[in-house]
Structures are given as structure tokens and as C-alpha cells.
Amino acid sequence: MLIQILNGLVYAGLLYIVSVGLVLIFGLRRVVNFAHGGFYMVGAYAGYTAAMVFGFWGGLIVAVLVLGLIGILLDYVVFRPLQNADHMVTVLVTFGILLVFEDVVQMIWGADTLSVLAPYPFDGTVQLGDILFPVYRLLVIAVAIAVALGLTLWLRFSRAGLYVRASSVDALTTGMQGVDTEKLSLSVVGLGTALAGLSGVIASPLLALSPSMGSSILIESFIVVVTGGLGSFAGAFIAALLIGQVHNLGIVYVPNVASMLPLLLMVVVLILKPTGFARSYS
Amino acid sequence: MRTTKLYAGVAAAAFLIAAGASSAADATIKIGVATALTGAYGDLGQQVKRAVDFAVEEVNAKGGIDGRKVETQYQDTQAKADIARQQAEKLVNDGFTILTGSIASGEALGIAPMLERWDAVMMGTVPKADALTGAECSPRFFRANIPDYADAATVGTWLKEQSEKKWAIMGSDTAWGRNSGASFTKTASGLTRDIVAEGYAGLGTNDFAPYIQKILDSGAEGVWVALAGRDAINFAQQAKQFGLIDKLKVAGVSFVTDNTVKTLGDVSKGIYGIINYSSTLDTPANKAFVDAWAKKYPGTLPANFEGETYLGMQVLFAGIDKADSTSPEDIAEALEGIETDTIIGKISVRQADHQFVRGNFFGRIEDQDGTLRPVVATSVAADVAMPAADDACKL
């Protein structure tokens, strides 16, 4: 039971890192970014290839940088011109980008599934009670906590964080106060996609790499983001924790309905509290 | 000047008419391949594509079948039953009435009942659910690969010799995975083995940890795995990290494939499994096939479903040749009861349920000449490997 809860935490950690990038981008650009799953996948593949030259950690840095650049480009080329367009238009465009990415990745790396080994010294197991637990899974939890902490500190205490919080509440007024919101969202979207890249690389020793990996995690991350309250960091954190557990314990105790539970949870939360767990930025 | 133009025009027209006439005389054979080019089974769909492309190129290089060239068209199904049915119908509407390519059993189960209405014929080379040649059998559907109930017969001969009494099942939550789990349960209980844990994970599952932990907690000594494609890799990789692969005897179907080995490397070493086709089979026809394959796809050996799809194409082409027609009805009639040479020896197509009657293999992933690959340990002859046709099938 304790081990299953720990497993739930691992999955929650992964979901959180993917989701928090979505939250960042939504907060500033009000864009429901379907391409996020694509960035996660491209991050994993970029990390895979770069790791051949620079090792796993080098690959991670390369993937984060590459995805950050792609994000900046995305904001400049797609989000900025479309910021006054209907929300549906951006949803469709980002969904299109996801499909294009899947095809491009399949063209470059092929449809065959690839796998990545956990990097040394995280490739072993650790004795927890009488059960062996993979060390790498603990690392995933640690990375998620680090991301959560880092983001919170940045949002709370840095000037840029203040601008981000301000402009996600009211972009127009923030702009009138002299904050360059365009430049701000450029870096925030970049940060969001860089986080997608990070999550892709972190996920790769756990999950097999295939062009469809992005769309398969995207749905679960959306459940997290919506349950947490669109645009809320703390909400996403709590929702990821909850959905990780519901997902895992569901498989253990009620396997026949397990795949339904996260969706059910989302529906119940939205009925009781249409804004999700959190109302605004925290 | 004017006359030259006129001559040229007449000549061109005559040429066009001649070309039209000749193409009408030996109409092409149109094969529609509705397969999972993307999605969780994308790698398997690409295998089907490679094998069909190979077979078609080969037969066209020999001048086609009875002088008729073979043409293919592909549609992506993402291994989803509803999309597969739409794509198959689209192919049929475009004149590609000889179908193949389904990966998931659900795809083929959706298409098979429509074949007569569409006036099409289909060669299944991957889907394993029993019902396709059982309760849901169709006069227009043929199966080249080995169904679950036949795999279970082969597993039985292996399981008998294993000392492990307690087994777990890890299957995909699809018609095939559930079917394979049920077949394994039946075989195991017949041999007084207990099933102590069962898990079925949805297609494209990311985290297998809860399933793995459940198997470890159940005290199982062995685990039967019915996962394929990305799911198989995900499970194997995570099971290795949890120490399951080293601790338990692991065996499976569609799990011990050249693909799994290529992706997983050492992780896959020692995994047992059903091998429906292996490039290491020692027949002259297979060797020639493997050599020709390596010429078209340098650096690769034909994988499990590539071999099975190719032999399905061999029998299909033999059927078209025998029918001497491109009509799906004639081809289906010709395929019934046909006996022909393939890369794994002589194969017959059973009249009662349209299942290919053929041998099966069991083996494990071993180091052979410095490379890891599925190595056949036991060959099971067709009379044991292919149990009698299901009475539920009424053709």
C-alpha cells in the first residue's frame, strides 16, 4: 500500500511537470496549448539524441534549451499574431502543431519505439522496508518538488514573477503600468515549453519513446490543469497529487473502472466548484 | 504544318486508346492496407507496411500475378476500431477491395462483418482474437497469423515443464489482451497452475508501476505478458527497474519480438515467449527471404509480424493466381482449402474457418553470435499447434 502511494507520487510528479508548463502558458496567453504534448515528445527525442553525445544530463540541458527556443518562436510566430483571434482558432492551430510534430518526429526517428536507460547513479534500486524501489523514480519526485519550489519562489519573490502574476490577472492594466507584456510572455511561453522539454527527458527512462507519447500524456495533463483550475499553479500541484493517487490506487483496487476515475474526479470537481481547486493565482 | 499537328494528335489519341485498352485487359490487383501507421501500435503498422511493400515489389518485379501488376494504397487507422472501419470502407470505395493491415483485433472485428456487403476480401496477418475465425468468422476473412487459442496450445507444451506454480497475467485491455489472458488461464489451470494476479492496461498506458507492484505483491513466480508495441516496451523497461524481470519467469506473446529486443537490449535477455515467426528459421525459402529483405532494408532482419505478413501475402498471391481473377469473391473461393509453399514450409488454408494451418514456435531471447535475438527452442508441428476449428464458426 505504501509503495503504491509512492508510485502514485512518481506519476503525480511527472504529470505536475508537464501540467505546470501548460498552466504558465495559459496564465499569460490564455491559450489552451494542445501542442504541449508535442513539445514533451520532441523534448524526449531531442534529449535521446543529444544524450548520445553529451550523456543523459547533457541531453537534458540541450532538450530544455532547444524547447525553450521553440517556445519563444511559437509565441512570436503563432500566439502573438493570434492573440486577438477566437480561442477556438488557437486551439485548432496548436492541435495542428501537435500533429505536425508527430509526423516530423516519425520522419526523423521512425515509428519504432525507443528506450532510454536510467542514468548512473540513479539506475539501481533502493531497499524500502522489504521492497526494492527504483532510485530513478525517487529522482522524478525530487525533480517535481524542485520545479514546484523554484517556480513558487520565482513567482513570489522576483520582479519578473510579480509581472507574471500581475499580467495574468489583468494584462491590459499591467501593460499600462509600463510592463512590456509582449516581452514577458515571450519568456514565459519559452519557460513553459522548456518545462515540457524537461518533463520529456525526465520521463524517457520511465516511458518508452514513440511519436504518440505526447498525445497520450496530454489528456491526463489537461485533466490535472482543469481540475486544478485553469491557470492556477497551486491548483495544478494539488490536482496532480490527487490524480496520481486516484490513478494508481484505482488500478490496484478497482481495476475495471480505473481508467475512468481521473475523468470522474474532474467532472465531480467541476460540478462542485466550476473554477477547479483554486480560483486565481497563488 | 497543320497536317503534322493533325498526325501528332491522331497518334497521341491512338496511343492513349491503346494504353487504355491494354490496362483494361490486365487490370491491376488493388490491395488496400488499413493499418496503424501511427499511435501506440505504430511500430507494428510500419512492420506491416514494410512487409507488404516488400512482397508487392517482389511480385511486380516478376511481372505481377498472371501479368497483372499489384498496386497498394495505405490508410492510417491508429489501431482504433472505428477509424479502421472508415478507412477500410474508403479503400474499398477507391477500388482497393483486397484488404489487409489490421493490427488490433478490434479493427479486424469491425471490418470482417462488412466484407460481404462491400464485396471485398481480407487477409489478416496480425490480429489474434479467437473470434475472428470463431463466432465472428466471415466467408471473406482469412487469417495468416496464429490465433490466441493456438498460441495457448503451444504454451501448454512449454508450461508443463516449468516448475513455477503461481502465475500472474499482464495483458493489454483490448479484445486480444483479454483473449490471450483467458486462453492462458485455461491452459494454466489445466496444468494445475494458479493465476494469482491479473492486470489489463489500456492501450498507450504510461505508468505500469501499479500493475508491476500488484504482480510482485501477489507472490507470483511467473508472469504471462500479452502486450505489444509501445505498451510492451514500457512494461518491460519499468518491470526491469522494479526487479520483476530478474525475479520472475517472464513469458509472453508478441512480447519476444525482434523489435522488443532492438529497443530494450539487455533488458529483454532471458524473456521467454511464443515466436510465431523468426528470421532464424532454417529453411532455404526463409533464408532466401531474409537475404532479399536485407537487400531492400539494409541492416535489418524481418521481424515477427513482418514474416507473418509476408507469408500472408505469399498465400494471398497464390490465391489470386489460382482464381485468375481480381474479383474478391473469386479470390476468397480460391483461397479456401489452398495449399501452397511459403517461407515456413507448406501451408494450407482451412476450409471450415479460413485459418492458416501452420506450426508454431517457442523460445527465448538469447545472445546468438554476439547479438541478442529471439531464438527458437521448441518447434511445435501444425497438428499440435493448430487445434481444430471452432464450431461457433459457420461459413
Query: Looking at the domain assignment, is residue A83 inside a domain?
Result: yes
Q: Confidence class of residue B24 from pLDDT cuts 50, 70 and 90?
A: very low
**Inter-chain touch A7–B37, beta carbons under 8 Å:** no
Query: Looking at the domain assignment, is residue A218 inside a domain?
Result: no
Question: Counting beta carbons within 10 angstroms of the beta carbon of residue B62, is it exposed (0 to 12), middle (13 to 18) or buried (19 or more)?
Answer: exposed
- Domain B24-146+281-358 class, CATH top level: alpha beta
| A244, closest residue in chain B (CA to CA) | B207
**Inter-chain touch B242–A125, beta carbons under 8 Å:** yes
Residue A7: list chain B partners with CB under 8 A: 207, 209-210, 213
Q: Confidence class of residue B368 from pLDDT cuts 50, 70 and 90?
A: confident
> Any idea which residue has 497543320 for its cell?
B2
What rounded mean pLDDT belongs to chain A? 90
More confident residue, B26 or B24: B26
Question: Is the per-residue pLDDT at A124 higher than 70?
Answer: yes
Residue B265: list chain A partners with CB under 8 A: 115
Domain count, chain A: 1
Chain B: give the shortest CA distance to residue A165, in Å. Answer: 33
pLDDT given at position A144: 96
* Identity of the amino acid at B55: A
B149-275+361-385 is classed CATH 3.40.50.2300:
yes
Query: Looking at the domain assignment, is residue A264 inside a domain?
Result: no
| A99, closest residue in chain B (CA to CA) | B38
Query: Looking at the domain assignment, is residue A122 inside a domain?
Result: yes
Residue B173: list chain A partners with CB under 8 A: 259
Beta-carbon contacts of residue B243 (< 8 Å; ≥ 6 apart): A125, A132
**Inter-chain touch B42–A210, beta carbons under 8 Å:** yes
pLDDT given at position B20: 43
How many other CB atoms are there within 10 angstroms of residue A30's CB atom?
15
Give the residue ranges of DSSP H helices in A204-260: 213-228, 233-253
Q: Confidence class of residue B22 from pLDDT cuts 50, 70 and 90?
A: very low
Question: Is the per-residue pLDDT at B89 higher than 90?
Answer: yes
| A255, closest residue in chain B (CA to CA) | B199
Residue B243: list chain A partners with CB under 8 A: 125, 132
Q: Where are the domains positioned within chain B? A: 24-146+281-358, 149-275+361-385
The stretch A58-84 carries a mean pLDDT of 94
**Inter-chain touch B230–A7, beta carbons under 8 Å:** no
Q: What is the pLDDT of residues B198-235, one digit of tens each?
A: 999 988 888 999 999 999 999 999 999 999 888 999 99
Chain B: give the shortest CA distance to residue A158, in Å. Answer: 36
Query: Looking at the domain assignment, is residue A266 inside a domain?
Result: no
Which domain covers residue A196, as residue numbers? 9-211
Q: Can you say whether the dihedral through the CA atoms of A96, A102, A106, A111 is positive or negative?
A: negative
**Inter-chain touch A110–B46, beta carbons under 8 Å:** yes
**Inter-chain touch A137–B241, beta carbons under 8 Å:** yes
Asked if the domains at B24-146+281-358 and B149-275+361-385 fall in one CATH topology, the answer is yes
Q: Confidence class of residue B175 from pLDDT cuts 50, 70 and 90?
A: confident
Question: Is the per-residue pLDDT at B19 higher than 50?
Answer: no
Chain B: give the shortest CA distance to residue A276, in Å. Answer: 25
| A212, closest residue in chain B (CA to CA) | B39
Residue A141: list chain B partners with CB under 8 A: none
Model ipTM over 0.95: no
Query: Looking at the domain assignment, is residue A221 inside a domain?
Result: no
DSSP state of A75: I
Q: Confidence class of residue A104 from pLDDT cuts 50, 70 and 90?
A: very high
Query: Looking at the domain assignment, is residue A277 inside a domain?
Result: no
**Nearest to B254, CA basis, from B278, B230, B274:** B274
Which of B37, B210, B242 minimises the CB distance to A132?
B242
pLDDT given at position B194: 94
pLDDT given at position A117: 87
If phi > 0 it is left, if psi is from -120 to 50 it is alpha, else beta; for residue B204 that is: left
pLDDT given at position B133: 95
Q: What is the pLDDT of residues A20-70, one digit of tens each?
A: 999 999 888 888 899 999 999 999 999 999 999 999 999 999 999 999 999
Q: What is the pLDDT of residues B106-163, one digit of tens each?
A: 999 999 999 999 999 999 999 999 999 999 999 999 999 999 999 988 999 899 989 9
The stretch B347-371 carries a mean pLDDT of 91
Angle, nearest 10°, between helix axes A36-74 and A213-228? 80
The stretch A83-111 carries a mean pLDDT of 91
Query: Looking at the domain assignment, is residue A179 inside a domain?
Result: yes
Chain B: give the shortest CA distance to residue A247, in Å. Answer: 9
Q: What is the pLDDT of residues B44-73, one digit of tens each?
A: 999 999 999 999 999 999 999 999 999 999
Q: Is B242 on the interface with A (CB under 8 A)?
A: yes
More confident residue, A237 or A129: A237
Q: Confidence class of residue A118 from pLDDT cuts 50, 70 and 90?
A: confident
Q: What is the pLDDT of residues A190-235, one digit of tens each?
A: 999 999 999 999 999 998 899 888 988 998 999 999 999 888 888 9
Kindly provide the b/e burial profile for residues A182-217, where b requires at least 16 CB atoms within 10 angstroms of the residue's own CB: eebbbbbbbbbbbbbbbbbbbbbbbbbbbbbbbbbb
Chain A: give the shortest CA distance to residue B273, in Å. Answer: 20
Q: Is B38 on the interface with A (CB under 8 A)?
A: yes
Residue B202: list chain A partners with CB under 8 A: 259
Question: Is the per-residue pLDDT at B25 higher than 50?
Answer: no
Question: Is the per-residue pLDDT at A280 higher than 50?
Answer: no
Q: Confidence class of residue A87 from pLDDT cuts 50, 70 and 90?
A: confident
**Inter-chain touch A136–B207, beta carbons under 8 Å:** no
The stretch B316-341 carries a mean pLDDT of 95
Chain A residues interacting with chain B (CB cutoff of 8 angstroms):
3-4, 7-8, 10-11, 14, 102, 106, 110-115, 118, 125, 131-134, 136-137, 203, 205-208, 210-213, 216-217, 220, 247-249, 251-252, 255, 259
Cα-based distances in Å from B352 to A102, A279, B309, B336: 43, 65, 22, 9
Strand B98-100 with B29-35, pairing: parallel
- Grid cell, residue B168, equals 500472474
Mutation to test the B interface, candidates A1, A3, A104, A113, most B Cβ within 10 Å: A113
